[in-house]
Amino acid sequence: MIHLFSNDNTIVNNYIAELRNIEVQKDSLRFRNNLRRIGLHMGYEISKKLNYTTMEVQTPLGIATQSICDDQIVLGTILRAGLPLHEGLLETFDQAENAIISAYRKHDTDIKFHIEVEYMSAPSLQDKVLILCDPMLATGMSMVSCWKILTERRGMPKSTHIVSVIASEDGLNHTRHHLPADVSYWIGAVDPELNAKSYIIPGLGDAGDLAYGVKL
């Protein structure tokens, strides 16, 4: 299932507009904060799809009945651009376990590349809920590679939620084609195309550079 936030009038669209705005992008603190806020809001929406158990809570004045989420959640992030988005999700799911993956484009030519995964730190995923985030879903290759490595080495989650701020149509289609049919997608906006270097158009540029500075 695809949950597309741009289909509804919500404050998330304001944050995305600022992320795209070339003038607002000059403030890297605000850029990171907008990614974090989007993660918080998307996490809240994902929470509506989880499993809950009713329990009694002792208050100073009596007993309250409360529904409590009883899913075990693992938040997965692809370095480095995913960190602010991850922080927002972690504010929502503050007791979640965490998985961190280093994946990048290793260029064979100026245009052709493959995905290189160099580092992974993750708990067991078996029968847990995996929320895997990356701000930009361009080709979808990084997301697919990271999901496959996580599940091969750490077990199969009972459900997976993919979180991205902006996706290309090609990237979303590629990811859906290579991941299980029951994966849920939480996307801020879908843009129509990729350029020759596989950057999303109109997109917003390089999210990692805008959040943390230009890399060598």
Provide the pLDDT for residue 72.
Answer: 97
Provide the pLDDT for residue 85.
Answer: 96
Name the percent of the chain lying above pLDDT 70.
97
Tokens 């390089």 -> residue: 206
User: What are the residues whose beta carbons fall under 8 Å from the beta carbon of 153, sequence distance 6 or more?
Assistant: 120, 122
Where helices occur in the chain by DSSP H, the ranges are 12-20, 28-47, 83-92, 141-154, 169-178, 207-212
* pLDDT band at 107; cut points 50, 70, 90: low
Provide the pLDDT for residue 159.
Answer: 97
- Does residue 134 surpass a pLDDT of 80? yes
Token pair of 160 as six digits = 């997976």
The closest alpha carbon to 165, from 200, 193, 195, belongs to 200
* pLDDT band at 184; cut points 50, 70, 90: very high
Provide the pLDDT for residue 114.
Answer: 74
* pLDDT tens-digit map of 143-176: 999 999 999 999 999 999 999 999 999 999 999 9
Between 196 and 61, the higher pLDDT residue: 61
- Does residue 112 surpass a pLDDT of 80? no
- Does residue 94 surpass a pLDDT of 70? yes
Provide the pLDDT for residue 5.
Answer: 96
Residue ranges of domains in the chain, CATH in brackets: 2-50+70-212 (3.40.50.2020)
Distance CA 155, CA 123 (A): 9
* pLDDT band at 117; cut points 50, 70, 90: confident
Provide the pLDDT for residue 40.
Answer: 97
Provide the pLDDT for residue 119.
Answer: 85
The pLDDT of 127-143, averaged and rounded, is 94
